[in-house]
Amino acid sequence: ALLGIRAITVRSISVASVLLLGFVCYDVALVFGTDIMAVVMKEIEAPIDFRMAKSLDPVAKVSLLGLGDVVIPGVILSFLKRLGDGDERGAPYFASASAAYLLGLLVALVSNP
């Protein structure tokens, strides 16, 4: 995940917006519209997902979170951090986006069936 975040550098808010909009469309079409990603995550032996146990029971279901759900927001947070470092007016964007991303991850992990 860190290599992906370091490899992709976003230099403007318009590129960041297009990137996020593209991945929202991708999620709606392929993740929520079909079961393609669930099949890929279960059948490919590669580190492409994060799994979190829903309870301490070893046979209980796990929550799945795709690698793209970490890398793409990480790229955006990296951009906002650089924006805040260069200009004091940009600092609140990084803090608020980080908090929103953390909250979104927690909601996704808890609500995943």
Residues designated catalytic: 27, 69
Q: Which residues of 91-112 are buried (b: 16+ CB within 10 A; e: fewer)?
A: eebbeebeeebeeeeeeebeee
Separation between Cα atoms, residue 113 and residue 111, nearest integer Å: 6
Q: At how many degrees (to 10) do helices 68-86 and 91-111 cross? A: 160
